[in-house]
């Protein structure tokens, strides 16, 4: 709190944000303004709501402070930047970015906000470090609505930005901030965007990105689907590996990889990676990988 304190020009929000964060870190059953205000000894949620809705502070500077803090406390040369989106179900139309759209949180099309998040992970721990709100055309084509909700002018001018493009913004920002990460990971919503993969490769940024089975990969001069390539593998190509501890013990899967692309730059390699469930071999996940030529199957897994 001492680090981010200067981002608040007034003492009241500076003190209240400390109580708000303490509430988030507490064992409260619910983390809304009512519960957090009571935890802080306040008689009503008005102050907490005012902090979140109207208080003026430098949000982007606080994000940079957080990135610096995570880099100092958790930073490792082989760190991983993890990109994923989260949906926040909403009832009304006023929340910025809210629209009827698919929400993975709800598992269906729902009135919600969608935000692309970045987490940083190393052997020392993990933490969220950045976020970008996704805006559909319902918003970007209505400047007045955006302005009323406080959307920055430069974001309005940019129009609709895809989620993989938002991921690029986040990755670039983390890199510029000096956050030490060797690998980038994301699910198929990002891995299926070829322009994101090309951009990462141009930056020589190692990555393991999920693919859909129907996505094509380059094998020599052909472009078969990922699923077809893995289906043709003999059983001896699979290795059983543990990729860390889960809530029910070691997370064990069968893994296999196939070299892809016909030309590799010196010291670098490209692979199609597959993860197969031990209990249900029909459940297979696919990943496109770019990294050091000597990367082992365990490294990629």
Strand partners, 133: 115
How confident is the model at residue 105, as a pLDDT?
83
Please name which of 53, 216, 7, 242 lies closest in space to residue 150, comparing C-alpha atoms: 53
Beta pairing, strands 239-246 & 206-211:
unpaired
Beta pairing, strands 206-211 & 284-292:
antiparallel
How confident is the model at residue 255, as a pLDDT?
98
Could you report how far apart the first and last alpha carbons of the chain are, in Å?
37
User: Half-sphere exposure of residue 65, counting CA atoms within 13 Å on the CB side?
Assistant: 13
Share of the chain above pLDDT 70, in %: 100
CA distances from 179 to 78, 81, 200 (A): 11, 9, 16
Residue 244 has pLDDT above 90, yes or no: no
- CB contact set of 151 (below 8 Å; sequence gap of 6+): 96, 135, 139
Would you kindly state where each structural domain of the chain is located, as residue ranges?
A: 1-57, 58-202, 212-300
- The tens digit of pLDDT for each residue in 185-213 reads 999 999 999 999 999 999 999 999 999 99
How high is the mean pLDDT of the chain?
A: 94
- Rounded Cα distance between 134 and 138, Å, is 11
How confident is the model at residue 87, as a pLDDT?
92
- Rounded Cα distance between 36 and 174, Å, is 31
The pair of three-digit structure tokens given for residue 33, joined into one six-digit string: 């303004």
The pair of three-digit structure tokens given for residue 206, joined into one six-digit string: 């190692």
Compute the CA torsion angle 56, 58, 60, 64 (nearest 10 deg): -140
Residue 175 has pLDDT above 90, yes or no: yes
Residue 250 has pLDDT above 90, yes or no: no
- The tens digit of pLDDT for each residue in 7-39 reads 998 999 999 999 999 999 999 999 999 999 999
Alpha helices by DSSP H, listed for the chain, are 11-24, 33-39, 46-53, 59-74, 137-140, 143-148, 153-158, 163-176, 188-191, 194-202, 226-231, 297-300
What helix, strand, coil percent values describe the chain, rounded to 5? 35, 30, 35
Residue 53 has pLDDT above 90, yes or no: no
How confident is the model at residue 235, as a pLDDT?
96
Band the pLDDT of 246: cuts 50, 70, 90: confident
More confident: 288 or 147: 288
| pLDDT mean over 222-236 | 96
In this prediction the pTM is 0.92
């Amino acid at each position: 709190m001492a680090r981010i304190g200067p981002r608040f020009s007034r003492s009241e929000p500076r003190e209240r944000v400390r109580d708000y964060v303490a509430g988030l870190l507490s064992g409260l059953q619910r983390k809304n303004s009512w519960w957090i205000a009571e935890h802080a000894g306040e008689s009503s949620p008005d102050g907490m709501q005012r902090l979140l809705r109207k208080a003026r502070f430098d949000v982007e500077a606080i994000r940079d402070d957080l990135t610096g803090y995570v880099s100092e406390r958790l930073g490792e040369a082989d760190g991983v930047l993890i990109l994923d989106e989260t949906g926040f179900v909403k009832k009304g139309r006023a929340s910025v970015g809210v629209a009827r759209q698919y929400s993975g949180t709800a598992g269906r099309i729902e009135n919600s906000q969608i935000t692309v998040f970045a987490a940083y992970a190393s052997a020392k721990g993990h933490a969220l470090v950045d976020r970008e709100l996704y805006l559909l055309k319902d918003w970007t084509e209505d400047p007045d609505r955006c302005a009323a909700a406080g959307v920055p002018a430069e974001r309005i001018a940019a129009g609709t930005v895809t989620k993989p493009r938002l991921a690029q913004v986040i990755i670039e920002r983390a890199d510029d901030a000096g956050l030490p990460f060797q690998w980038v990971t994301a699910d198929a919503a990002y891995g299926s965007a070829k322009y994101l993969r090309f951009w990462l490769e141009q930056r020589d940024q190692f990555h393991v990105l999920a693919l859909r089975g129907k996505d094509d990969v380059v094998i020599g001069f052909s472009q078969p689907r990922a699923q077809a390539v893995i289906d043709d593998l003999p059983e001896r190509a699979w290795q059983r590996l543990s990729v860390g501890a889960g809530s029910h013990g070691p997370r064990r899967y069968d893994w296999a990889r196939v070299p892809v692309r016909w030309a590799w730059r010196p010291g670098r390699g490209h692979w199609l990676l597959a993860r197969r469930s031990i209990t249900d071999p029909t459940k297979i996940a696919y990943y496109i990988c770019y990294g050091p030529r000597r990367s082992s199957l365990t490294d990629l897994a």
